Amino acid sequence: MGHTRDQDEKTLLRHPPEVLMDLFFSHVRNIWRVDGLYIQGIEERLGTEFATEVDAGVHKELGKIEAKVLSSLLGLKERGLSQLVTVIKHSSWYLDLLEKTFELDPGGERAVLTVDVCGTQLTRMGKGLAVFPCKQVRRAYLEAFVKAFNRDLKVTPIFCPPDERPKDAWCRWEFSRR
């Protein structure tokens, strides 16, 4: 006889909050490990350009889905820039990033996300692989995310591999009104 979702939830809720958070973040990391592993497999067999195209298509769909699901789960009534920042901060991609900053201008007209440390790129480099040119992938994800959240907002890449970047950051994205 199998377990029901209610039984699984009761089992999970027996753990203290810090264990639940560790489990949660472990699952988030696993989602992005799978992503990295499947892209590496495609890259090895069919090249980086093809792998990047496939990954961008997947992340475009993921961006749409995550924005809709998270907006609903968080019960957001307004869809402005500050709410977009809130929703992105709850996304699996953001939660998987090791070190990042997200700054919203006091006037609420512009927000800038900087990824200081990228675990994906560091893992690749640790395996002796080249830096992955992820700009196309990340742009597809973020543009789809923003569009699904509010068509009056936009995202603009400031830099992202393969772009030149400062030594203390991997990528930087600006969010603003159209």
For the segment 14-32, what is each residue's pLDDT rounded down to a tens digit?
A: 999 899 999 999 999 999 9
What secondary structure does DSSP assign to 53-107, as a single string?
HHHHHHHHHHHHHHHHHHHHHHT----SHHHHHHHHHTSHHHHH-SEEEEEE-TT
pTM score, two decimals?
Answer: 0.90
Spatial separation of the C-alpha atoms in residues 177 and 111, rounded to whole Å: 10
Is pLDDT at 1 greater than 70 in this prediction? Answer: no
The tokens of 13 are what? Answer: 């809720």
Amino acid at 7: Q
Q: Which of 7-11, 71-75, 101-105, 172-176 has the lowest mean pLDDT?
A: 7-11
Model pLDDT, residue 9: 83
**Res. 11 pLDDT band, cuts 50 70 90:** confident
Contacts of 103 (CB under 8 A, 6+ apart): 111, 112
Model pLDDT, residue 113: 98
Contacts of 18 (CB under 8 A, 6+ apart): none
**Res. 108 pLDDT band, cuts 50 70 90:** confident
Give 8: exposed, middle or buried? Use CB within 10 Å, 0-12, 13-18, 19+: exposed
Q: What average pLDDT score do residues 93-107 get?
A: 92
Model pLDDT, residue 6: 82
Query: In terms of DSSP bridges, do strands 99-104 and 110-117 run parallel, antiparallel, or are they unpaired?
Result: antiparallel
Give the rounded percent of residues in the chain with a pLDDT score beyond 90. Answer: 84
Amino acid at 5: R
The tokens of 138 are what? Answer: 């990340």
Model pLDDT, residue 46: 97
* CA-closest candidate to residue 123, choices 37, 7, 21: 37
CATH of domain 5-177: 3.30.1380
Is pLDDT at 117 greater than 90 in this prediction? Answer: yes
Spatial strand order in the sheet of 110-117 = 99-104, 110-117, 171-177, 153-159
